[in-house]
Amino acid sequence: MRATIALTVPLLALAGSPALPAVHLAAEAQDTARPPSLTVRLGERTRTVPAVAHPAGGVALRADVLAEALGGQLVPTSAGSARYRFEVGRTGIDIEHGSTLAVVVDDTVPLVADVFRHGGAVYVPIAMATELLPRVGAGVMFDVDKRELRRFALSVASARSTPARPPAANTAAKTAPVPGGTAAARRPVAASPADLRGSRQRVVVVDAGHGGPDRGMSGPLLGDARVYEKNITLAVSKQLERALQQRGIRVVMTRTTDTLIALSDRGRIANDAKGDLFVSIHVNAANPRWANPGGARGYETYFLAEAKTEDERRVAAMENEAVRFETRADVSGGDPLGFLLRDMAQNEHLRESLRLADLIQGSMRAVHPGPNRGVKQAGFRVLVTAFMPAVLVEIGFGTNRDEAAYMTSPDKQAELAETIADAVARYLAEYERKVSG
């Protein structure tokens, strides 16, 4: 159940400074950055979170009231300690008075400013609410346009009254060795089906890029053997289908044969199937103008957002070129990509897609022989019409002789599919914990 908590952020005087009259404060706000008014949506409660102007600039929120408004709590780690644990659902963020660092699980992340005390209360920079919490999987998102913070939970009452579910015997974390690594550098293997139980079976739409007359990338640049992207993506997608089904996940394929599916139809197939995730498999190709195009190697995962770099725009243009094979391409209605980007920026799909892309990149690192080229963003047509978290995975460079051989090996295709399935299963398990916590 989702309801509204109106949460405004008044500006208080700095510690040690005389309070300013409300009229004077309102007038001064015209000349300085006015603290944003914030709305938090959770259950049916309404809370106001006190705020102060941060000594380093910007705005800080009272941490304990913010946590309570989100259905969580702020807990000192020990009596008289300067360290606190900010808990929302099953997500904990460790913060410390005077520090600009926070700890989430085993990761240390920087804050835009330090944590400090004011009037006996602990305050955190507002970016912890608007940027960090949505990023670390707390079931929270921030709508920039509406200045609204939302936590997606059943209700505050049900979250508190439902006892914690004991872990199933077969859900213990498993590990597999990283090639060339040590026991300390092991990657998580897929969550078991018990981790993924929820109100319904999850649906993942697997999209094999290109097909039919659209062969996609051809390579390698050196050597006699020719490989085509459409064949590699179909083979890997079928292996991914099998791997996901073994993990208790229902799979819908956009194509299972060498046929052309319009880019817009791939998203429609995903929507009609009521998919939870959309994963599109592709093979990369080097820019011929690069100094050594045949030497380009590596893997990367994209989510839908405006491209920031020339290379991101290059890859998007290359994959979007498939539209020229379609006989009825819909180019009417202005700029659908721009419209959908604006719309997606106001919901959780963008952040969830980024999280899924992060997990896929991290999982592939354990087996892929090429370099990790990172998570990237671009405006792929195939992702635009899929109204769910969606990613596009470039599993390697077919223009590179070694990677072309790697991606056409059935054993390596199965290995790649297993690692992607691991990441998808882990994402879905995280999602189940968020919606049940």
pLDDT digits 0-9 by tens, 278-296: 999 999 999 888 899 999 9
CB 253 within 8 A of CB 241: yes
Residue ranges of alpha helices (H) inside 247-322 are 263-272, 310-320
Pairwise CA distance, residues 334 & 331, whole Å = 8
pLDDT tens-digit map of 35-74: 555 778 776 666 777 778 889 888 899 999 899 888 889 9
Question: What pLDDT is recorded for position 323?
Answer: 42
User: Which pLDDT score, from 0 to 100, does residue 20 have?
Assistant: 30
Q: With 70 as the cut, is the pLDDT of residue 5 above it?
A: no
Average pLDDT over residues 134-162: 60
**H helical segments located in 34-125:** 63-69
pLDDT above 50 for 98: yes
pLDDT above 50 for 434:
yes
Rank 19-23, 70-74, 432-436 by mean pLDDT and report only the highest: 70-74
Which amino acid type is present at position 254? T
Task: Of 74, 67, 1, 66, give the one whose Cα is nearest residue 38.
Answer: 66
> In this model, does residue 270 exceed pLDDT 70?
yes
What is the rounded CA–CA span in Å between residue 56 and residue 134?
A: 23
Q: Which of 114-118, 142-146, 335-339 is most confident?
A: 114-118
d(CA 29, CA 13) in angstroms, rounded, equals: 13
**Closest Cα to residue 388, out of 434, 358, 421, 353?**
353
**Predicted pLDDT of residue 135:** 78
Q: Which pLDDT belongs to residue 379?
A: 65
Tell me the C-alpha to C-alpha distance, in Å, between residue 417 and each of 281, 306, 414: 10, 27, 5
User: Please, what is the average pLDDT of the chain?
Assistant: 74
What is the pLDDT averaged over residues 3-8?
A: 37
Which pLDDT does position 221 carry in this prediction?
Answer: 79
Q: Are 74 and 115 in contact (CB under 8 A)?
A: no
> 220 and 404 in contact (C-beta within 8 Å)?
yes
Q: What is the pLDDT of residues 359-410, one digit of tens each?
A: 999 999 999 999 999 988 766 665 667 788 889 999 999 999 999 999 999 9
Give the single-character DSSP code of 428.
H
Q: Is the pTM of this model over 0.85?
A: no
pLDDT for 342:
43
Distance of alpha carbon 258 from alpha carbon 255, whole angstroms: 8
Share of the chain above pLDDT 90, in %: 36
Instruction: Report which listed range, 172-181, 191-200, 335-344, is most confident.
Output: 191-200
* 253, pLDDT greater than 60: yes
- In this prediction, residue 193 carries a pLDDT of 46
